Amino acid sequence: MMLPFFVIIPLGTAFLISLFGKKIKNLSDILANLGTLSLLIFSLYSISQVATQKILVYKVGGWIPPIGICMVLDGLTSFMLVTVNLVSFLVTLYSINYMERYTDKYRFYTLFMLMLAGMNGIIITGDLFNLFVFLEIASIASYALVAFGTEAEELEASFKYAVMGSVASSFILLGIALLYSYTSTLNMADISQVLSGKPPGQMVNFVAVLFLAGFGLKAALVPFHAWLPDAHPSAPAPISAMLSGVFIKTLGVYALCRVFFNILTVSSRLLFVLIVFGMISMVVGAFLAIAQTDIKRMFAYSSISQIGYIIFALGIGTPLAFFGALFHLFNHAVFKSLLFLNSGAIEYSTNTRNLNRLGGLSRSLPVTGYTSLLGSMAISGIPPLGGFWSKLIIIIAAIQAGYFVSALVAILISILTLAYYLKFLKFTFFGKINEARQNIREVPGLMKLSMIFLGIICVISGLLIVPLFKPFLQSAVNVLLLGNGYKDAVFGMLR
C-alpha cells in the first residue's frame, strides 16, 4: 500500500515547489526537507515489511502484472531505498545553507526532488520499460543540475555528460526493444519466465552486451568513464554528493544487478567480463586520482575506483562476494557523500578547491576537518571503520573463489587509496595556513549537522555485519542469490 508513495511524495513536492517556491520564501526548504524526511521514514519502515513478508507486489491501477505495471518490494529494493533516502535527506539538510550561494534555490529543489523521484522509481519498479522511463527522469534532472551554476566549465561538462548519457539510454532502450520482440512482454518477472522456457541463443548475449554498455556508461566503468570526472566536480556540492554517492549506484549498479541476475540470469562468461571491467576501473581510477590537484576531481576519480570494487565483487558471484559488494555500496554511498560535502564546506569558506592553495584549515574548520579525517580513513580501509570490513570481505571472497592476482591488486589499490587521501588531508588541513585565510569561519550549523551525521554513520556502519543488523544486508544478498527464482517469488505473491 505504501509503495507508490516513494514516487508520489517527491513528485508532488517537486510540483508544489515549482508552483509556489518563488513567491513564498522558505517554503522550498521546508517542503523539500519534509519530503525527504518522510521518505526516509517510509524506507526504514519498509525494512520491517520485508522482514515479515519477504516480498510485496503492488499492482498499479489494479491490473494484474503482465498487463499492467507492478511495483516490487524485496530485500534489495528496501536496501537501496534506505541508502538513497538516507543520503538524500542529509544532503537536503546540507543544501539549506549551502545553496544560498546560488540564485533561484527553488529550481534547485524542484530538480533535486525530480531526480530523487526518478531514483526511487527505478528502485521500486517491476517493469522494464518503466525502469527506463524513470531512468530518464533521473538522468535529465541530473544533466540540468550539473549545469546549475551556469559557468562555462559546468555547461561544457553537462553537455558532455548529457550526450554520453543519452547514448547510454538509447542502448538500454534498444535492448528493451529486442527483449520485447523476443519475449513479447515487459514485466521483469514475466520476461524471466519466458526466457527460461526458450533454448539458449545469441539474442540474450547481445541484449546483455547492450545493457552492459548502457548501464556501464551510467555507472562510469572505465572504458565509458570519460564524463564522470567532469560532471561530478562541476555540480554544486550537494549534487556531487548525490551523484557520486547514490546516483551512479542506482542507475548503474542496481539496474545492472537486477537485469543481469534476476532477469537475464547471465552466463559465467559475462560475469567474467564484469570482473575485468571492475579490475580496470579500480586500477585506472586510483592512478588518475593521485595526479589530481582539484579536490573534487580527485574524489570523482576515486568514485570510479570504488565502483570498480563493487562491480568486481559482483562479477565473482559467490554469496560472500555479493555481501561484500552490497556492503561496500552502502559504505561508499555514506563516505563519498560525506567527502563531497566536506569539499563543499571547504569551497564555501575558502572559495577554492585547489589543493596547492589550501593548507592548515584544521584549526579554523574543526568539524569539517574531523569528519574529513573519518571519511578518508573509512574509504581507505582503516580497521574499525565500515570501509575496512567491506573491502576485507571482498578480498576474502576473491581469494576463496581463486582470483589470487585480483585480490592482490585490490589490496594494492587500497593502499594507493590511502596514499591519495593522505595527500588530500595533508594539503588541506595540515601544514601552514595561508595568511589571507587566518580569519575564516566554520560553515553554518545545518551543514555541520549533516556532516556530523554522516561521520557517525561512517563509524557505526561496521555494525551491519553484527548478527543483530545483518538481516538488512542479508535479505538484499538473498535476492541476488535467488537469480531466476525472482519470477517465482513475484508470481507467488500474485496468486
Partner 1 sequence: MSEYILCFVLFCIGLYCVLRKRNIIKIIIGLGIIEYAVNLFFVLIGYRAHGRAPILAKDQNILNMVDPLPQALVLTSIVIGLAVTALLVAIAIRIYEKYGTFDITKIRRLRG
Partner 2 sequence: MKNPEKGMTLIVKTITRLTVGLILLYGIYIVLHGHLSPGGGFAGGVIIALSFIHLMLAFGKEVALKKLSQVQASILESLGALMFLSIALLGFLGGYFFFNLFLHKGKPFTLFSAGIIPLCNIAISLKVGAGLFAIFAVLVLFKGLDEEK
Partner 3 sequence: MELQLLLLFMVFAAIVAVQIEDLLSSVIAVGAVGLGLSMAFLILKAPDLAITQLVVEILCLIILIRATINKDIPLIRDGRWLFNTISTLLFIGLFLICAYFAFKDLPKFGQPIMRVAQEYIDKGLGKTGATNIVASIILDFRGYDTLGEATILFTAVMGVLAIVRRIGRIKNEKS
Which residues contact residue 233 at a Cβ distance below 8 angstroms, ignoring those fewer than 6 apart?
157, 240, 294, 296, 297, 299, 300, 353
d(CA 372, CA 378): 10
d(CA 120, CA 283): 31
> For partner 1, what does the binding mask look like between residues 168 and 207, x meaning CB under 8 A?
-xx--xx--x--xx----x---------------------
Please check whether residue 171 is in contact with residue 164, taking contact to mean a CB–CB distance below 8 angstroms. no
Least distance in angstroms from the C-beta of 18 to partner 2:
5
For residue 125, what are the β-bridge partners?
71
Should residue 152 be labelled a site residue for partner 1 when binding is judged by CB under 8 A? yes
> Applying CB under 8 A, what is the total number of residues that bind partner 2?
13
Cβ distance to partner 3 smaller for residue 346 or 454? 346
d(CA 414, CA 419): 9
Should residue 136 be labelled a site residue for partner 2 when binding is judged by CB under 8 A? no
Least distance in angstroms from the C-beta of 425 to partner 3:
24
Please check whether residue 385 is in contact with residue 312, taking contact to mean a CB–CB distance below 8 angstroms. no
d(CA 329, CA 220): 15
d(CA 381, CA 144): 34
Partner from partner 3, partner 1, partner 2, none binding residue 364, C-beta < 5-8 Å depending on class = none
Give CA 104 to chain center in angstroms: 26
Footprint on residues 74-103 left by partner 3 (CB under 8 A) = 100-103
Least distance in angstroms from the C-beta of 140 to partner 1:
6
Count of residues making up the chain: 495
Least distance in angstroms from the C-beta of 107 to partner 2:
11
Which stretch in 155-163, 278-286, 316-324, 486-494 sits in contact with partner 1 by CB under 8 A? 155-163
Cβ distance to partner 2 smaller for residue 143 or 340? 143
Q: How many C-beta neighbours within 10 Å does residue 342 have?
A: 33
Partner from partner 2, partner 3, partner 1, none binding residue 360, C-beta < 5-8 Å depending on class = none
Please check whether residue 301 is in contact with residue 307, taking contact to mean a CB–CB distance below 8 angstroms. no
d(CA 371, CA 129): 41
> For partner 2, what does the binding mask look like between residues 34 and 63, x meaning CB under 8 A?
------------------------xxxxx-
Footprint on residues 121-160 left by partner 3 (CB under 8 A) = 121, 129-130, 133-134, 136-137, 140-141, 143-145, 147-151, 154-155, 158
Angle at Cα 459 formed by Cα 455 and Cα 462, nearest 5°?
140
Angle at Cα 331 formed by Cα 337 and Cα 58, nearest 5°?
90
Which stretch in 15-23, 214-222, 349-357, 424-432 sits in contact with partner 2 by CB under 8 A? 15-23
Partner from partner 2, partner 1, partner 3, none binding residue 229, C-beta < 5-8 Å depending on class = partner 1
Name the amino acid, one letter, at 361: L
DSSP secondary structure of 419-464 = HHHHHHHHHHHSSPPPGGGTT--PPPHHHHHHHHHHHHHHHHGGGG
Should residue 136 be labelled a site residue for partner 1 when binding is judged by CB under 8 A? yes
Least distance in angstroms from the C-beta of 78 to partner 3:
20
* Sign of CA pseudo-dihedral 306, 310, 316, 320: positive
Give phi and psi for 54, each to the nearest 5. Answer: 70, -65
Should residue 152 be labelled a site residue for partner 2 when binding is judged by CB under 8 A? no
Which stretch in 162-170, 336-344, 415-423, 475-483 sits in contact with partner 1 by CB under 8 A? 162-170
- Tell the residue number behind the cell numbers 553537455, with chain if given: 159
Which stretch in 186-194, 296-304, 364-372, 485-493 sits in contact with partner 3 by CB under 8 A? 186-194
- Which of 194, 276, 396, 425 contacts partner 3 by CB under 8 A? 194
Helices (H), 184-294: 188-196, 202-219, 228-234, 237-242, 248, 255-257, 268-290
Chain residues binding partner 3 by CB under 8 A are 11, 14-15, 18, 60-61, 63, 66-69, 100-104, 107-108, 110-111, 114, 117, 121, 129-130, 133-134, 136-137, 140-141, 143-145, 147-151, 154-155, 158, 178, 181-186, 190, 194, 201-203, 205-207, 209, 351-352
Chain residues binding partner 1 by CB under 8 A are 129, 133, 136, 140, 143-144, 147, 150, 152-153, 155-159, 162-163, 166-167, 169-170, 173-174, 177, 180-181, 186, 226, 229-230, 288
Chain residues binding partner 2 by CB under 8 A are 4, 8, 11-12, 15-16, 18-19, 58-62
